[in-house]
Amino acid sequence: MRSTALKQFTKLEATGLWREAPELQRREVVVSFGESSLTISDPRSESALSHWSLPAVERLNPGERPALFAPGQDALETLEIEDALMIEALERVRDALSSARPRPGRLRGSFVLIVSAAIALAMVTLAPGALVSHTASVLPPATRLGIGRMALADLSRVAGAPCTDPTGQGALDRLSTRLFGPIAPQILVLRDGAAQALHLPGGIITLHRDLIEKAPGPEIAAGYILAEAERATASDPVLPALRHAGFIATLRLLTTGALPPDALEGYGQALLLTPPADLPADTLLRRFGDEGIPATPYARSVDPTGETTLALIEADPMKGRAALPLMPDSDWLGLQAICAE
């Protein structure tokens, strides 16, 4: 059995109630006590929902039951635990860390020197790429969404604020659910910018208004949405955001859970100037086929000549088949007016 932060606890697990953000519902999870982190997982899919650094875990209601923990004083996430053994393990970790901290006035100068030297050594020896990769791998969904919103705010400075007509946005939300199910990305329409579509951290996808206002139907927009979702799956969208933020900002994110407010300044412009990554035709065709969406409208939009997208046109999974409507006519009309003044 694997070792944990306390040697007498091995592969310790318990159930708990996890809340990703204050405005969201609590959900039942499995909590696993590891060597240096607390893993919060979905009990059905067994997929990890969040990772908490054990040294950062805070007890929010000392002496009360169920115990309420958070991955830091300013964190959005919370975790309720009833299991006495799990609570004891977490409390003993906190006590051990507390007793290990130097008391005020004792060896303060030496401690500061040691910490400063350790940070300097890390900055010299740790490759920036390794720091970015590690940080991205431990970010909880709420933090990823926060980074995505920071990126969107900077992007809005150069591409215009997202269109907000409620009727059109409602139609777009229903289209996203139609394509992805209950865990659907947030689709937004931007007024300007050189990019037809972009994907941001936290499950945010943006579309240029021309993909809707100048299109004969929703198939083109749906194609761009599916393509961006595939790009987000192929390469974590947090990575380029952290590379843009830089080493110091990423180190601050890793240690405090938040990027500096100006860390993504200029990132929106960089996104607009970055050409979209190529996607294998068979990957796109499989995705279009799964959703029952013709590939030809998207392929012709990407390249009107069809030369670079010929594989998508020739092997269109819906060729010769009647595709089901993506949305009612009333939704399409509302979506086309999403950017109306």
Q: Structural domain boundaries of the chain?
A: 12-100, 135-218+236-276+326-336
Taking 90 as the threshold, does the pLDDT of residue 21 lie above it? no
Taking 50 as the threshold, does the pLDDT of residue 85 lie above it? yes
Contact 218, 332 (CB under 8 A): yes
- In whole angstroms, give the CA distance from residue 247 to residue 318: 47
What was the pLDDT predicted at 43?
Answer: 87
Strands across the sheet with 37-41, in order?
48-53, 37-41, 27-33, 12-19, 78-81, 67-70, 58-59
What was the pLDDT predicted at 213?
Answer: 95
Q: Residue 99 — pLDDT band, cuts 50, 70, 90? A: low
pLDDT tens digits for range 120-172? 455 544 556 788 888 898 999 999 999 999 999 999 999 999 998 999 999 99
**Spatial CB neighbours of 212, under 8 Å, sequence gap ≥ 6:** 189, 218, 221, 335, 336, 338
- In whole angstroms, give the CA distance from residue 80 to residue 110: 38
Contact 155, 206 (CB under 8 A): yes
Tokens of 56: 């950062």
What was the pLDDT predicted at 47?
Answer: 77
Stronger pLDDT, 102 or 166, i.e. the higher one: 166
Taking 90 as the threshold, does the pLDDT of residue 272 lie above it? yes
Contact 242, 253 (CB under 8 A): yes
Which residues is 20 bridged to in the sheet?
A: none
Q: Residue 266 to residues 146, 152, 154, 252: CA-CA distances in angstroms?
A: 17, 11, 7, 19
What was the pLDDT predicted at 292?
Answer: 93
pLDDT tens digits for range 181-235? 888 999 999 999 889 999 999 999 999 999 999 999 999 999 999 999 999 999 9
Q: What architecture is domain 12-100?
A: Roll (2.30)
Give φ, ψ of 329 to 5 degrees. Answer: -60, -35
What was the pLDDT predicted at 114?
Answer: 53
- In whole angstroms, give the CA distance from residue 106 to residue 109: 8
* pTM flag (> 0.75): no
- In whole angstroms, give the CA distance from residue 318 to residue 309: 16
- In whole angstroms, give the CA distance from residue 35 to residue 249: 26
Stronger pLDDT, 308 or 95, i.e. the higher one: 308
Taking 50 as the threshold, does the pLDDT of residue 106 lie above it? no
Q: Residue 174 — pLDDT band, cuts 50, 70, 90? A: very high
pLDDT tens digits for range 285-306? 999 999 999 999 999 999 999 9
Strands 186-190 and 204-208, bridge-based pairing = parallel
pLDDT tens digits for range 28-63? 999 987 766 788 888 888 778 888 877 778 888 988
- In whole angstroms, give the CA distance from residue 73 to residue 257: 10
What was the pLDDT predicted at 93?
Answer: 72
CA atoms within 13 Å, Cβ hemisphere of 1: 10
- In whole angstroms, give the CA distance from residue 137 to residue 94: 24
- Tell me the average pLDDT of the chain: 85
- In whole angstroms, give the CA distance from residue 290 to residue 278: 20
